Structure 1
Amino acid sequence: MKAWKTMMTGATAVSLAAALAACGSGGGSSPEQSANPADGNKQVEITFANWISVEEGTKEAYNQLIADFEQKHPNIKVKSIGIPFAQFKDQVLVSSAGGNPPDVAMSNQNFTPAFDGAKMAEPLEALLGADMINDIVDGSKAGVTFNGKVMAMPWAPHPSALFWNKTVFKQAGLDPEKPPKTWDEMIEMAKKIAALGKDEKGNPIYGIGENGASESYTGNMLMRIAYSYGGKFVDDKGAIVYDQGTALKDSLAYIKDMIGNKISPKGAMMKDLRPMFANNALGMLVDGDFGRTNFRSMSGKGEAFDKEWGVTTVPAGKSGKSETVFTEHQLVVAAGSKHKQEAAEFVKYLVSKDAMAIYHKLNGVMSSRKSIASLPEMNEDDYAKVFNEQMKTASPLPAANPKFDNAMKTSTDMIVLVTEGGKSPEEAISTVMPKIKELYK
Structure 2
Amino acid sequence: MKVWNKMAMSAAALSLLTALTACGSSTNSTPSGGSGSAEPKSTTDASKNAKPVEISFANWISVEDGTKEAYNQMIADFEKSHPNIKVKSIGIPFAQFKDQVLVSSAGGNPPDVSMSNQNFTPAFVGAKLAAPAQDVLGADIVNDIVDGSKAGVTFSGKVMAMPWAPHPSALFWNKTLFKKAGLDPEKPPTTWDEMIQYAKKIAALGKDEKGNPVYGIGETGASDSYTGNMLLRMTYSYGGKFVDDQGTIIYDQGTALKDSLSYMKDLINNKISPKGAAMAELRPMFATGALGMIIDGDFGRTNFRNMSGKGAEFDKEWGVATVPTGKTGRSETFFTEHQLVVSAEGKHKAESAELVKYLVSKEAMAIYHKLNGVMSSRKSVSALPEMNEDNYSKVFNAQMKTASPVPATNPKFDNAMKSSTDMIVIVTEGGKSPDEAIATVMPKIKELYKK
CA deviation profile, 1:86-132 (whole Å, cap 9, x unmatched) = 11111110111011111100011111110000011111223211111
With normalisation by structure 2, the TM-score equals 0.95
Conserved? CA contact 1:216–1:405, under 8 Å = yes
Correspondence 1:314 to 2:323: yes
Conserved? CA contact 1:30–1:342, under 8 Å = no
Show the 5 A alignment for 1:326-341.
326-341=335-350
Of 431, 446, 451, 1:422 maps to 431
Correspondence 1:186 to 2:195: yes
In the other structure, the counterpart of 1:291 is 300
Counterpart-to-counterpart distance in 2, 1:119 and 1:299: 43
Show the 5 A alignment for 1:247-326.
247-326=256-335
Of 120, 132, 150, 1:123 maps to 132
1:320 aligned counterpart, secondary structure: coil
Show the 5 A alignment for 1:17-416.
17-29=17-29, 32=32, 35=43, 40-416=49-425
Counterpart-to-counterpart distance in 1, 2:330 and 2:142: 31
1:142 aligned counterpart, secondary structure: helix
Counterpart residue identity of residue 17, structure 1: L
| Greater mean alpha carbon deviation, residues 19-28 or residues 60-69 | 19-28
Counterpart residue identity of residue 112, structure 2: D
Counterpart residue identity of residue 14, structure 1: L
| Greater mean alpha carbon deviation, residues 363-372 or residues 236-245 | 363-372
Conserved? CA contact 1:28–1:39, under 8 Å = no
Counterpart-to-counterpart distance in 2, 1:279 and 1:241: 39
Counterpart-to-counterpart distance in 2, 1:184 and 1:291: 24
Deviation for aligned residue 1:39: 8.4
Structure 1, unpaired ranges of 5+: none
CA deviation profile, 1:220-255 (whole Å, cap 9, x unmatched) = 000000011111111111111110000000000000
> Once superposed, what is the RMSD of the aligned Cα atoms?
1.6
Conserved? CA contact 1:30–1:38, under 8 Å = no
Deviation for aligned residue 1:257: 0.6
Counterpart residue identity of residue 309, structure 1: W
With normalisation by structure 1, the TM-score equals 0.97
Counterpart residue identity of residue 406, structure 2: L
1:208 aligned counterpart, secondary structure: coil
Conserved? CA contact 1:29–1:38, under 8 Å = no
Correspondence 1:8 to 2:44: no
Counterpart-to-counterpart distance in 2, 1:330 and 1:369: 12
Conserved? CA contact 1:28–1:44, under 8 Å = no
Counterpart residue identity of residue 138, structure 1: D
1:121 aligned counterpart, secondary structure: coil
Conserved? CA contact 2:168–2:336, under 8 Å = yes
Deviation for aligned residue 1:28: 4.2
Counterpart-to-counterpart distance in 1, 2:390 and 2:59: 29
CA deviation profile, 1:346-404 (whole Å, cap 9, x unmatched) = 00000011111111111111111111111111111100110111111111101111111
Number of aligned positions between the proteins:
441
Conserved? CA contact 1:209–1:282, under 8 Å = yes
Q: Percent identity?
A: 79
